[in-house]
Structure formats: C-alpha cells, structure tokens
Structure 1
Amino acid sequence: MTPIPVPWRLPLLALTLAWALLATLYFDTGAAMVHIWDRSETFAHAWVVPPLAIWLVWRRRAELAALTPRPALRWLWLLPLLGLLWLAGDLAAAHAATQFALVGMLVAVVPALLGTDAARRIAFPLGFLFFAVPFGDFLTPWLVDRTADFTVLALRATGIPVFREATQFVIPTGSWSVVQACSGIRYLMASIMVGTLFAYLNYRSNGKRWAFVGVAIITPLVANWLRAYMIVMLGHLSGNRIATGVDHIIYGWVFFGIVMLVMFIIGARWSDPDGEPAPAALREVASDAAPRRAATVLSAALLLIALPIALRAQVEHAAPKSTPSLAAPTLPGWTWNVQPLSDWTPHFDGMAATLRGRYEPTAGGPAVGVFIGYYRNQSYGRQLITSTNDLVEGDDERKDPWARTASGLAGLDNAQPWLTAELRGQALSQVTGSGELAPRLRVWQRYWINGRSFTSDWQAKLYGAWCKLLGQGDDAAVVIVYADKVTGGGDDDVLLRGFLHQHAAALNTALQDVRDHDAAHRP
C-alpha cells in the first residue's frame, strides 16, 4: 500500500476531524437520509453513491499525490450559507434542505482544507455525492399525470374506448389506475445518476456529457409511458390474465433494464478515448507557516460547522410548551354540529389539536363541513406540510376509497385564494357499473401560518421557518371546508364561496386567538 505523502498527512487529518464533527453534530440528518435509502425503492440507488465517489477519487490519486495541499480560507464562506440552509430546513422539518446542506458542508470543507487545486481535480466525485440526497419525489404527481395522459391517448389511438377521471380510467375489459408506483420516478432517478456517471467516464467534451445527461432524462420518461401503455394492452388482450399482478412490476423493470442497456450501447459509440495523463506537477516545498494555516482554517471550519446547531438549540428553547385547544367559533346564521358531514377524513398526521364537524344553516339548507388540523412544535413526522399529508391517503383504494378527481384554485374577492379539489368516495369501476351516484365532495383548502394564509407549500414552509427563527413559534394549521356535491344541489362552489366570504375572517380569528392565548407561556 502506498504511504500517504508527508505534505498530505496534516490536511487529511484536518479533513477527517471536520467530517467527524459533521457526522457527530448532524447525525440525525445523515441517519434520516440513510433511512430513506433503506425504505424507498425510488432512492435505493443512493447506496452506491458514496462507494462510487470514493472510487472516482481513488482513480485520481496519482495526480493528487503530486500536489501540495494548500488550505484556502476563502472557501469557508460557503459554510455559513449552508448552515443557514440547514437551520431553515430543520426548522421547517424539510428533509431535502437539511440533507443538501449536510452534503454541501461535507464537500465545502474539501477545498477549504485541501486547497482549490486538489478540489478541482476531484470536482466531479464531490458533485456526484449530491446524488446521495433523496430528492425528486415532488415530481411524482406530475409524472403520474403525464403517464396517464400518454396511456389514455395511446389507447384511444389504438381504437380502444376510454372513460377517464383524473388518473383512473375504464376500458371495455376492466378498470385501471395510474398510481405513484407507475410514475416512473424510480426509473428517472436511477437513470440520471447512472447516465451522469456514464457521461463522465466516457466523454471528454462537456457538450457530449450534457447531451447524454439530457438523453438519460428523456429516455426513462418515454420508456415509462410506453411501459404503462403496453401493460394495459397486455391486460386487455389477455383478458386480464397477465400484467395485472406481480408480473406487472416485473415487466416494468425488465423493460426498463433493456431500454437502459440499449441507451448505453448507443452512447458508447460516441465515447472518447482516454485523455493523456496529466503531467505531474512540481511539488511545492511546504513552508513553515503551512501547519499554522491549516490549524487556522480547521478551527474556523469547526466553529462554523457547530454554529447552526447552537442556533437551533436556542430557537428550540424559545418554543411554547403548552398544548393548543380548538373550539368552533360562533357564526351568525349557522349552528355548529360535531357530527362530520361525511365519512371522509383528510389524511393529516401529527396534529397537536383537531376540529372536525359541520356548520348547519339555521334557516335550513345544505351544511358545510369543516376540518382544522392545528400544529405546534413541529418536527419530523409531526409537521403540517409533508408529502404524506394530503386530502386523500395515497392512491391505494384498499387504504382509502376516496380519490381526488380534480384540483384547482378559487379566488375569494381580493383575499388569498383557496386550493380546490373534487373527491369521489367510490372506486371508478364501481361507479360506472352500479348506476348509483357515488359520494362526491367539493373541497376548499389553505394553510394558516402564524396569522397569514398560504396555498403554496414552499412559501408556507419558508414563512413558518422564518417565524420560528425569529422566536415567534411555529403555530400553523390546515383549514378545510367542504360541501356534498350530490345532496347539495350542484351549487357547492356557490355555497362554499358564500360561507367563506362571510366567515373566513372568523375562522382566522379563532386560530389567532389560540396562538395568542399561548404566546404568554413562552419562556
């Protein structure tokens, strides 16, 4: 085994100390990232990212050994920015932000402690580490919609009649649903990671590399659309004897594997020959000031690494400790009834308090359902805005018979708009075959964050983190009102608009009172 060159020993020791402190202080962030690798097939490819990055660095060991590390103080400016990103992400319980910040800090200390020249030679392996962050799930709804669009379009072009509602559709031989597992997100994530690595290893030109990465993005999208169409056709032509169970998934992976193999075989035709080895640099003689410089940069790096953790502890200490209590406000012309309007329950977890029931007009007429989920002292698994908190539970009708059939926005005078949705409470195949009217709801929803209303997830996340950073707490709520489309006479939007026009302010005031009542209990 080749011994470590003398000029590298102190800088590598400093880098090891910095990484050790990052691993210790940000253990929960790293553990959360690894947990997602383990439980999610979408990001299972991330397991190979660290070993591949190490191997890519090892390939450049001769070039690195010829250099003399020169710690660069100027790179430390990245650490406070990344620390602020981590702090904001942690306050908002946003895994992606904290994990990108952690990987960014791991990368930033490399040029700071080893020098710019050394980091430049391993820039790709360092950048490749960001593939370890499980990021991209937000694309799933868009991918599901596009897959459903293509599948229905292809079926109709084939001559098969299709009745579609959202991502579910019925053809003469049965009903189908494009669920999250059909989105192709796992194929896309794996293809981008492997395609980027392939481009780096096989091409010298940046133009070729970016072109192949583009192909690696487009290919799995189109391949997944074709896969979905072919699976439906196989089921249709076989009388639903094949492509409907486990083989449904097997066909998908086999098809994806073949497509990726063809993509790499074609891409290899334009591969560039290996470049000439870089000439060995003349090793600079380390000065007597080098150890002092390394110690200075290391001390500053360790301080900046620890600063976000200290700030986080201070913010946590200022959080209110009391448990909120919700009560339905009195609204003129309406009577509160704790009996819900429907058996539908929004899928929101981790709430500190809940209000659920309906307002009935004293003069008679259709009622308005209300659901308010209140959050305080939010943390991972107990936050308002997350991919698992939604109006319906995923896309498995065995877990939740309710399905979203439409989404949009509705304005309310000059006030903040509301998110809208239509829900169906029965499987589409049962709806089309029974002749009965399925339960249907019209739903209006928005977020209340410390006195302000939002419809955007990321804006609500950022504002909540900012309020918490300022010591104002993280009180937040989801406010949902809904009406029955079947028994409401078809004027559900008019009903909800009129109700909110008169009483949205009263609902907001009730939430503000809960927050203000407990504000005095903050330490």
Structure 2
Amino acid sequence: MPMNEILTFLKSVKPASWLKGILYSLLIVLIYRSSLQWLILRDWPREDYSYACLIPLVVLYLLWEKRSELISTPSTPSWMGLFPLGVGLVLFWLGELGGEFFAQYISLWLVIVGVCWMHLGWRKLKTVGFAFIMMLAMFPFPYFINAKISLTLKLLSSQLGVWMLQLYGMSAYREGNVIDLGFTQLQVVDACSGLRYLFPLMILSLIVAYWFKGRFWKKAVLFLSSIPIAIVVNSFRIALTGVLYSFWGPAVAEGFFHGFSGWLIFLFTTAILLAEMWVLKKIGKGMEKDEESIRSEVGQAADNAAGASVGWSRSFLQPQFIAVGVVLGLTLGLSQGVEFREKIPIKQSLDQFPLQVGEWSGTRETMEQQFIDELDFSDYVMVTYRDRQNQTVHFYTAYYENQQKGESIHSPESCLPGSGWKFSRAEEIALAAGNGASLRVNRVVMEKEGERQLAYYWFAQRGRVLTKLYQLKLYNFWDALTRQRTDGALIRVITPIAGSEKPEDADTRLRGFLNEAIPLLPEFIPN
C-alpha cells in the first residue's frame, strides 16, 4: 500500500482518539492477559487451529480496506454499546472464576464490539462488521466440541473413503474408524479427520464470498459448499492412501507423503472453490447490477471527504469514555487485586488410597510426566484392581486444590474420544452411595479397534456430585464468589467388556467395586 495513503489516514485521526485507543488497548490487554497468552502460546500452535494466527492480519487488512468509508462516515456515540459490553464482562467473570477460556474469548470479542459501538456508533460499526465477524475465527472451539466435530468427520470420511475404495474395485470394510483392506488396516485418526482442512477452507470461502460480486444466495452457496467439499475431498485422500498403500506400503500413510498430500488436498479444494465461483458468476450475469461502478462511486465520495475527521470523541470528558474507562478499570483491579480462590488441601494424599478394597486387590500405577503436566492436578491415584476371578477394574481419581483457566478438571467426555475411544452409549444412572443415599453418575460404553469398555465417572465438587461439564463451570463460578473455593475431584472407574460378555455383567462388576470404594472417598476428598 502507498506510504502517502497511510500518512493521510494517520493524519485524519485526531490525537485524542489515538490516546483513547491506546488506553483502551492497554486496559483490555491487561484484563485478558492470561487468556491472550493461552490463545497465542497454547491454542494457535495446535495443528487443527494453526491458521488462526493469520486471522489478525486478515482483520487488519479488512479494516484498512474500509478506511475511506470510515473517514467519510461521522461518528455517532451511542449507549447501545453497553449491552455487548455488559454481556462481555459477565462472560469474563464466568470464564475467569469458572475456569473456561472459550467464555473469555467470546467476552474479549464482545467487549471490543461494545467499546467500538459506544464511541463510533452503529453506522461505522456496520461498515467494518465483516472484520469483526472474522475476528471470531481467531478463537478455537472448546475441547469437547472440537472432539465431537472431529469424531463426526472421522466417521463420515471413513464411510465415504470405504465407498470410494469399493467403487475402485478394492475389498474394503469399515469398523468404526478402522478401514480393513484385507492385506492391512488403516486407522482414520484425528490428523485424517479433515478438521484441519474444514476450518481453513470455510474461512477462505467466507472471505471469497465477501468479495464475490453476486447476489446473496450465491455468496451463501459459496460459503456452505465448503463443508461438503472438504469432507468429500478428504475422503478421496483416505481412499487414495488405501490404493497407493497396495503399491508402496506404509510409507504413503505416514511421514512426508502424508503431510504433503494434505497440502495438495487443500490446494485442490481451493481450486474447486474458484471453479465454483466462476460457475456462479456465469449464472444470471445479465440480471445483476454492476457493483464495480457502485464501489468506485463510494470510493470517490470517500476520497472527496478525506479531510473529515475520524475522532472518537471531542474531549476526554465524553460520558461514554468515562463510563467505559471506569468499568474496565474496576474489572482490571478486581481481577488482579482480589483472590477469589483459596487452595483447599486434600485431607490425606491419594497415595494412601488402600490397595485392598473389599475382595479387590490393587496394583498402583503411575502416569507419564507429559500427562501430569497437561492435566495440572494437585494429587492423583491410578490403581488397577483385580478380584479372585481375575476380573479387572481401573480406578482413577484426580484432585484439584483450586480450579482456574488452564488448570481445571478435564472431562472424560473430552479426553477419551481424543484418544480414539468412541462413545456408543452414554447416559446418567443412579448408584447406591451408602446409608440409603444414591448419587448420579455418567455411564459410558465405549469402543476402540474392536475393544469395548464400560466407564462410570462423576465430579465431586465441594459436597456436590455433578455429571456435566457446564455444571462444573457454573458451580466453580458461584462458589468462587460465595465461598472462595473451587476445589474438586474427578472419579472414574473403567472395566473391560470381554468378547461375549454383556454390558450388564460389567455393570455388576463396577457396582460391586464401587460399593466398597465410595465410602472411602470422604477420607481423602474435602466436603
């Protein structure tokens, strides 16, 4: 971009507006510092979201593209921006005290929208609305949503891949995410789910649709078509891997070829998207308005108004500026100056959990350090118990002295599917807890590569027994405010389901073990 354009734009903005922008930016960065660090250092390096680091550059370009319209449109400060600002701050505290980064990300977006709306007005906000929509692409989904999307894509891709292999003439059968080719088996893992192509292609199609000169329905078709295109092309990649495997062996399913084929597939889908644009442009071409002239007229009108100012306010005594500054300042002071969580130590170390539970004898196990670092618990126990018939129950409990963003309980609903387990049945059931009481727990039948297991799990949270992750977050938020406590534990038991064994028999085994184990838990976990 020409340097004179940049200088002209910078001169058009009043110094007071620059100072206010810098002050707001500083307050927002300080308020969301830990969340921004997590986003940049932990979320963006994830392979499924590695594209997200480019989104801020895209947003800046979209804003720069609208500079003329911004200059020509007068600022009309509005109190309507208080609504997104207020919702954003509520989500900030929900995420801060509940330990949820995604709530913080949406909060950050809403606060920025609210501040801009209050100072620039609705007309200017609408002018750069697409840039604000694109900002949302910077934020990854929560892990449990990401895992569900990935699992669904793996199933779709493997089904279509098998159909393509059979169409080619190869003998191929599918069991879950495993494709049996007779001479070998291909497992459709997370890297092959297509998620790493789907999100970037959807974002690319959204940008292309924004710039596409055509009716709204054409833009919608262009954007929505990216989803089936990504799924079908990824299935083709899986099928092609199966075909080439028969010629060159496992080298085509791993290493350089696997990664390089992913890039080729993405380029191929991009070419399909461009071809679709060409076809859509040809449909009803004569009936559409020439938008190029409209754009040039708007640009010319904006250029004629280049001398107009884009200042956010006439003075620092503007009510909106004072209100936003006070609210953000209080939020920063409370979040940094008040400790809402006390560390509640465990009653006694889980290392002391007995290895003899009724007729069950246990062998203590240890977790690899990389998983300990990832889970961030305060204490844990992992024991494999066996009864006299050599039946097995795996017992795991993790305790957290306090829970906060990045250091909270990981639900098995997220972790187990992430390691390849498919939940075939998931429900809540009641278990006897002694003294005639009962507790609700999650019951899950899961499968992986022909193996089946039955799992029970629940969250023991400061005298409550919870089964849902959203309950965990909400009670963490409430108890941090009212009790200064967010301590809690995850209890999980798993038993294998043998080949011809019924899940009901595994239920009997787990219930028998838990009848002996549940009364021991209050000796360790604070109430």
* TM-score range relative to shorter protein: 0.7 to 0.9
SS of corresponding position for 2:396 = strand
Asked if the contact 1:164/1:170 (under 8 Å) is kept, the reply is yes
CA distance in 2, matches of 1:499, 1:266: 55
- Residue 420 (structure 1) aligned with residue 437 (structure 2): no
- Residue 494 (structure 1) aligned with residue 508 (structure 2): no
Asked if the contact 1:22/1:305 (under 8 Å) is kept, the reply is yes
Asked if the contact 1:71/1:294 (under 8 Å) is kept, the reply is no
- Residue 72 (structure 1) aligned with residue 78 (structure 2): yes
1:26-65 → structure 2 map (5 Å cutoff): 26-36=32-42, 38-65=44-71
Residue identity in the other structure for 2:361:
N
* Equivalent pairs, count: 492
Residue in 2 aligned with 1:520? Answer: none
Cα 1:484–1:137 change in 2 (3 A) is closer
Cα 1:405–1:25 change in 2 (3 A) is closer
Q: 2:378 aligns with which of 352, 369, 383?
A: 352
Cα 1:344–1:31 change in 2 (3 A) is closer
CA distance in 1, matches of 2:98, 2:517: 27
Residue in 2 aligned with 1:369? Answer: 394
Residue in 1 aligned with 2:525? Answer: 514
Asked if the contact 1:421/1:442 (under 8 Å) is kept, the reply is yes
Residue in 2 aligned with 1:225? Answer: 235
Cα 1:100–1:317 change in 2 (3 A) is closer
- Residue 107 (structure 1) aligned with residue 113 (structure 2): yes
CA distance in 2, matches of 1:325, 1:13: 54
| Larger RCO, structures 1/2 (Cα 8 Å, 6+ apart) | 2
Residue in 2 aligned with 1:461? Answer: 473
CA distance in 1, matches of 2:135, 2:326: 24
1:284-303 → structure 2 map (5 Å cutoff): 291-292=314-315, 295-303=318-326
Residue in 2 aligned with 1:304? Answer: 327
C-alpha deviation, 1:146, in angstroms: 2.1
Residue identity in the other structure for 1:11:
S
Cα 1:453–1:229 change in 2 (3 A) is farther
CA distance in 2, matches of 1:37, 1:329: 36
Residue identity in the other structure for 1:384:
I
Residue identity in the other structure for 2:521:
A
CA distance in 1, matches of 2:368, 2:62: 52
SS of corresponding position for 1:514 = coil
CA distance in 2, matches of 1:480, 1:162: 37
Q: Of Structure 1 and Structure 2, which has the larger fraction of its residues in helix?
A: 2
Cα 1:117–1:160 change in 2 (3 A) is same
- Residue 137 (structure 1) aligned with residue 146 (structure 2): yes
Deviates more, 1:207-216 or 1:187-196: 207-216
Cα 1:405–1:321 change in 2 (3 A) is closer
CA distance in 2, matches of 1:341, 1:408: 28
Deviates more, 1:338-347 or 1:88-97: 338-347
Residue in 1 aligned with 2:23? Answer: 17
SS of corresponding position for 1:88 = helix
The CA deviation string for residues 319-378 of structure 1, in whole angstroms up to 9 with x for no partner, is: 2343453568899992453415999999672222223335566x8673533221122312
- Residue 234 (structure 1) aligned with residue 236 (structure 2): no
C-alpha deviation, 1:190, in angstroms: 0.7
Query: Any stretches of 5+ residues in structure 1 without a counterpart?
Result: 396-402, 432-438, 517-523
CA distance in 2, matches of 1:343, 1:471: 32
Deviates more, 1:185-194 or 1:27-36: 27-36
- Residue 90 (structure 1) aligned with residue 115 (structure 2): no
The CA deviation string for residues 388-440 of structure 1, in whole angstroms up to 9 with x for no partner, is: 96248x55xxxxxxx5365422553586352324466xxx6xx9xxxxxxx86
Residue identity in the other structure for 1:371:
Y
CA distance in 1, matches of 2:369, 2:54: 40
Residue identity in the other structure for 2:397:
I
1:122-201 → structure 2 map (5 Å cutoff): 122-135=128-141, 137-138=146-147, 139-162=149-172, 164-201=174-211
Residue in 2 aligned with 1:325? Answer: 348
Asked if the contact 1:68/1:283 (under 8 Å) is kept, the reply is no
CA distance in 1, matches of 2:482, 2:103: 19
Residue in 2 aligned with 1:435? Answer: none
Asked if the contact 2:379/2:398 (under 8 Å) is kept, the reply is yes
C-alpha deviation, 1:196, in angstroms: 1.0
Residue in 1 aligned with 2:271? Answer: 261
Asked if the contact 2:47/2:196 (under 8 Å) is kept, the reply is yes
CA distance in 1, matches of 2:524, 2:314: 59
The CA deviation string for residues 241-288 of structure 1, in whole angstroms up to 9 with x for no partner, is: 6454321221221122122122123214545642343356989999xx
- Residue 471 (structure 1) aligned with residue 483 (structure 2): yes
Asked if the contact 1:360/1:367 (under 8 Å) is kept, the reply is yes
CA distance in 1, matches of 2:463, 2:203: 42
SS of corresponding position for 2:421 = strand
Asked if the contact 1:385/1:461 (under 8 Å) is kept, the reply is no
Residue in 1 aligned with 2:425? Answer: 408
Cα 1:422–1:290 change in 2 (3 A) is closer
Residue in 2 aligned with 1:249? Answer: 259
- Residue 390 (structure 1) aligned with residue 415 (structure 2): yes
C-alpha deviation, 1:18, in angstroms: 0.9
Asked if the contact 1:47/1:132 (under 8 Å) is kept, the reply is yes
Residue identity in the other structure for 2:47:
E
SS of corresponding position for 2:525 = helix
The CA deviation string for residues 182-214 of structure 1, in whole angstroms up to 9 with x for no partner, is: 111121111111111111112354333222211
Residue identity in the other structure for 2:326:
L
C-alpha deviation, 1:499, in angstroms: 4.3
Asked if the contact 2:455/2:492 (under 8 Å) is kept, the reply is yes
Residue identity in the other structure for 1:72:
S
Asked if the contact 1:74/1:112 (under 8 Å) is kept, the reply is yes
Cα 1:38–1:412 change in 2 (3 A) is closer
Percent identity, aligned pairs only? 19
Residue in 1 aligned with 2:435? Answer: none
